[in-house]
Structure 1
Amino acid sequence: MNASLRSLDSLSRRQFAERVAKATLGVTLLPHVLKGQAAADPKSLPGFGKAKRVIWLQMIGGMSHIDTLDPKTGATKGPSDPIATKAGYQLGGYLPTLAKDHSEKLAIIRSMTSKTGVHASGQYLMRTGYEQRGTIKHPVLGAWAQELLGKSSASLPSTVCVGRAPESGNGFFSAAFSPLPIHDPEAGLQYAEFGAPKEIINKRLALLNEVDAGFRAKFHDTNLKAYTDFYDDTLKLLSTEDLNAFRLTEEDSAAREIYGMNKFGQGCMLARRLVERGVRFVEVAQGGWDMHNDIADGMEDNGSLLDKGLSALLSDLQSRGLLETTMVVLCSEFGRTPKINSRNGRDHHPKVFSTLLAGGPAKGGTIYGASDAEGNAPADKQVTIQDFHSTVGHALGLDVNQIVMSPSNRPFTVGDKGTIIQEVLA
């Protein structure tokens, strides 16, 4: 039998394996087995490791794909007319600068889909690539990168989140992998100034260390050590010039105006300052996208903030020679319904929505996948959030097939076994 099996061609061997699996293991295991064989060496796929850093722009509330990245005509058209771009596709009418100056830099995925239509769960899924569970917390991509690649800077944190709390972004990894939270980019790093002379601070720390020494000797816990290391790293940051990365006041006021004098625009500028100095992963969150009412007014406000901030970020990164090695990600937890409701708004719609990649290995001027004519469902090349995470992780140089065991001895991978979308990478 072995000789006859070896004589089969590759397709026949696959058919044989499928029949065996159906008879013995059930059909759910096999696709992952075959997929793992097909992508045994992700480093050979396009774009691997070409992004040395990622700026992750998460629009909280459910950004309308029809009014931004996947405009439609007819009954589902938004309140603004689509804009033609040099790259040959259209963008929503609220993104004029992005359409005019940056369309050839963008890789847009118009066939994203999810089963999660609740804000908190959807945001968790988009941030981590995993469905929310009560028994475990999953890491964000920045924490994954620190686990697989090590720290990105001697003094700066490897991951920073701007405009939101860290929300256990380290997941099941060490507390030392937690994102550093910056609530207000203009305020910078909270408590960054010493309230006492360094000599006094050092004496207090020595006393604290003496008090804690007995406890640490008795309880050899990795999380306890992680918190100790976190404090040490924080003090190291406070005593270096890298602390200036968090100070937007060092920027020219005219340059700040280009980004927009609001939390999102200034958050994008802060992200540029941070990745320029060695932070690997920066998340910038912007709320206000839950437009159940008066979507015209909501898009006028938020669309303008997005267009100005993202456009300035792409121009700034390019002028500084950083865009080729920095991937910019634009995403949201889901889209919004094609049909305008009775309150002139759009409701939650996870069935299809859009995301955007730019910089790094992102293949500019690319549209991947499509929604149907109404923007109601994927019509071609359906993409899951797991696929999206695997693609960004791959670009960042993470082996998405590498299994990492959690403290509870459960196996996990970047993107939860998603498929790398090779067509959007170069």
Structure 2
Amino acid sequence: MRRRPGPFDWQQLSRRDALRISVAGGLSFLLPPLGVRAREERGTGRAKSLILLWMNGGQSQLESWDPHPGGPAGISTSLGTISTSIPGVEIAESYPQMAEQLHRVSVIRSLVSQETSHERGRHAVRTGHRQLRHVVHPTLGAILAHQLPTVEVALPPYLSLLGPPRSYEGGHLGHQYDAFKVHQPGGALKNVDAGVSSERLARRRKNLAVLTNSFRRGREAAAEVKTYERAVDRAQQLMDSKQLDVFRIDTESQATRAAYGSHEFGRGCLVARRLVERGVRVVEVSLNGWDSHVDNLTKQRGRAKVLDPAMSALIDDLAARDLLQSTVVLCVGEFGRTPTINKNEGRDHWPHAFSCLVGGGGIAGGRRIGATDPTGQSRAPSDPVSIPDLHATILATLGVEYGKRLQTPTGRRLAICTGSPVAQLLAE
């Protein structure tokens, strides 16, 4: 069986490898072409961009956004709770900074999925569809890059910061909609500088043009030729771009950098703010380490020390720059954790009723959607929100026709999303 190539990874390639891959199949950010003037509005909805904070491994709802203190032994969290800026809503005490920002987003406590494994859970939450053998669905980010109007920025429309491999695919839309991956946010991109003088680079480009013209003869209609030429053109424009400074955070004040935190996730969140400020459509920032089958409390506390300052700084920064009204922020993982604590003091996988935070871009803030039972053990939360419903809400906010059908390379017509928007989140 022929192995399907993985997503493009710029920072692990040499310049020669990058050119070779561009000839074979195109870079991950090559469509649509640059130089096209952005529409007056980047979408028909109020929102223009999405920042996804991906909690890789599955964050515990009980030690974050839906604590159940004082319950039966072996079920409740030993963490205390704190009041938030949403009246009547308490969260785990590990999130004091987010408690102050919570009115700017909404808390969904009744998110439901059907998948209990990491791979299938990631696919379900990231694409809005269950995993099938013969169809690879595009992620939400790929859909947005495909459906939203282009903007005049020499930057990829869809980026993944700190993400694992093979989780950010364009699916049946093609690899041109894979996320552009950045492993070390906060510094200059690797392998973008030509590494030679401008004169030598000009000679190389001239020689490349000669080879391209020779290769084109007799193949004018071939898709491979068009993909190759588009790849080279976009790669050259990115190399020449004056916008690459967006990845460097040394121009930010010390106070701003300190607010996000000194860890790579905090730097990733700061870069995400800088990217949407430049007009990038989708930025994902991943935080690993949530899979707490052993010693759950220690792991959840440790991750909270990273997430709390970074996410609260991001939301506060977006609001201060008038970007929150045009940027949807979603914090979610592939599932939650079991209400019962196992013999290793850990919590296992629980897709039946878990939590997420979502806000910005016109999504109503300060709301609590759904509820779990007093112990959190019920598999039937009140006012359940399915993953497709969450996707439909975000797509509608960004002005995408979420029920639209797209044709796959095999001729099948598949709906972008099978859910319906959550009315409470779209109400003013």
Query: Is the Cα contact below 8 Å between 2:359 and 2:365 reproduced in 1?
Result: yes
Question: Deviation at 1:390?
Answer: 1.2
Query: Is the Cα contact below 8 Å between 2:169 and 2:175 reproduced in 1?
Result: no
Match runs of 1:280-291 below 5 Å: 280-291=281-292
Match runs of 1:14-413 below 5 Å: 49-73=45-69, 74-75=71-72, 76-88=75-87, 89-99=89-99, 101-165=100-164, 167=166, 169-213=169-213, 215-216=215-216, 217-218=218-219, 220-222=221-223, 225-376=226-377, 377-413=379-415
Question: Deviation at 1:149?
Answer: 2.1
Closer, same or farther in 2 for the Cα pair 1:72/1:227, shift >3 Å? farther
Higher helix share: 1
Query: Is the Cα contact below 8 Å between 1:182 and 1:188 reproduced in 2?
Result: no
CA distance in structure 1 between the aligned counterparts of 2:335 and 2:343, rounded to whole angstroms: 21
Question: Deviation at 1:162?
Answer: 0.4
2:172 alignment partner, SS class: coil
Q: Deviations over 1:48-67 (max 9, x none)?
A: 71211110111000110111
Closer, same or farther in 2 for the Cα pair 1:226/1:205, shift >3 Å? same
Structure with the greater alpha carbon radius of gyration: 1
Query: Is the Cα contact below 8 Å between 1:156 and 1:279 reproduced in 2?
Result: yes
Query: Is the Cα contact below 8 Å between 2:59 and 2:300 reproduced in 1?
Result: no
CA distance in structure 2 between the aligned counterparts of 1:227 and 1:55, rounded to whole angstroms: 30
Match of 1:6 in 2: none
Question: Deviation at 1:78?
Answer: 1.5
CA distance in structure 2 between the aligned counterparts of 1:342 and 1:116, rounded to whole angstroms: 23
Question: Deviation at 1:335?
Answer: 0.4
2:68 alignment partner, SS class: coil
1:372 alignment partner, SS class: coil
CA distance in structure 1 between the aligned counterparts of 2:193 and 2:110, rounded to whole angstroms: 47
CA distance in structure 2 between the aligned counterparts of 1:185 and 1:304, rounded to whole angstroms: 19
CA distance in structure 2 between the aligned counterparts of 1:51 and 1:350, rounded to whole angstroms: 28
CA distance in structure 1 between the aligned counterparts of 2:209 and 2:46, rounded to whole angstroms: 42
How many residues are matched?
378
Tell me the TM-score normalised to structure 1 length: 0.84
Query: Is the Cα contact below 8 Å between 2:47 and 2:328 reproduced in 1?
Result: yes
Question: Deviation at 1:145?
Answer: 2.1
Percent of residue pairs identical:
34
Match of 2:29 in 1: none
CA distance in structure 2 between the aligned counterparts of 1:158 and 1:225, rounded to whole angstroms: 20
Question: Deviation at 1:385?
Answer: 1.1
Tell me the TM-score normalised to structure 2 length: 0.83
Question: Deviation at 1:228?
Answer: 3.7
Query: Is the Cα contact below 8 Å between 1:370 and 1:378 reproduced in 2?
Result: no
Query: Is the Cα contact below 8 Å between 1:165 and 1:183 reproduced in 2?
Result: no
Closer, same or farther in 2 for the Cα pair 1:190/1:357, shift >3 Å? same
CA distance in structure 2 between the aligned counterparts of 1:395 and 1:325, rounded to whole angstroms: 10
CA distance in structure 1 between the aligned counterparts of 2:136 and 2:207, rounded to whole angstroms: 34
2:173 alignment partner, SS class: coil
Query: Is the Cα contact below 8 Å between 1:176 and 1:230 reproduced in 2?
Result: no
1:380 alignment partner, SS class: coil
Q: Deviations over 1:156-209 (max 9, x none)?
A: 111111001563522222433222111111344221322112332233234334
Q: Deviations over 1:249-272 (max 9, x none)?
A: 222222111101111111100000
Match of 2:25 in 1: none
CA distance in structure 1 between the aligned counterparts of 2:365 and 2:271, rounded to whole angstroms: 24
Query: Is the Cα contact below 8 Å between 1:182 and 1:190 reproduced in 2?
Result: no
CA distance in structure 2 between the aligned counterparts of 1:290 and 1:271, rounded to whole angstroms: 24
Between stretches 326-335 and 172-181, larger displacement belongs to 172-181
1:55 alignment partner, SS class: strand
CA distance in structure 1 between the aligned counterparts of 2:170 and 2:234, rounded to whole angstroms: 16
Question: Deviation at 1:137?
Answer: 2.4
Query: Is the Cα contact below 8 Å between 2:370 and 2:383 reproduced in 1?
Result: yes
Question: Deviation at 1:226?
Answer: 3.5
CA distance in structure 2 between the aligned counterparts of 1:55 and 1:103, rounded to whole angstroms: 17
Closer, same or farther in 2 for the Cα pair 1:165/1:195, shift >3 Å? farther
2:381 alignment partner, SS class: strand
CA distance in structure 2 between the aligned counterparts of 1:222 and 1:239, rounded to whole angstroms: 26
Query: Is the Cα contact below 8 Å between 2:113 and 2:124 reproduced in 1?
Result: no
Closer, same or farther in 2 for the Cα pair 1:154/1:338, shift >3 Å? same
Query: Is the Cα contact below 8 Å between 2:249 and 2:271 reproduced in 1?
Result: yes
Closer, same or farther in 2 for the Cα pair 1:59/1:153, shift >3 Å? farther
Closer, same or farther in 2 for the Cα pair 1:318/1:211, shift >3 Å? same
CA distance in structure 2 between the aligned counterparts of 1:95 and 1:383, rounded to whole angstroms: 24
Question: Deviation at 1:422?
Answer: 1.6
Q: Deviations over 1:349-384 (max 9, x none)?
A: 111111111211121110111122222323211121
Closer, same or farther in 2 for the Cα pair 1:122/1:202, shift >3 Å? farther
CA distance in structure 1 between the aligned counterparts of 2:117 and 2:184, rounded to whole angstroms: 26
Amino acid at match of 2:264: K
CA distance in structure 2 between the aligned counterparts of 1:359 and 1:148, rounded to whole angstroms: 20
1:112 alignment partner, SS class: strand
Closer, same or farther in 2 for the Cα pair 1:219/1:307, shift >3 Å? same
Q: Deviations over 1:18-75 (max 9, x none)?
A: xxxxxxxxxxxxxxxxxxxxxxxxxxxxx97121111011100011011111111212
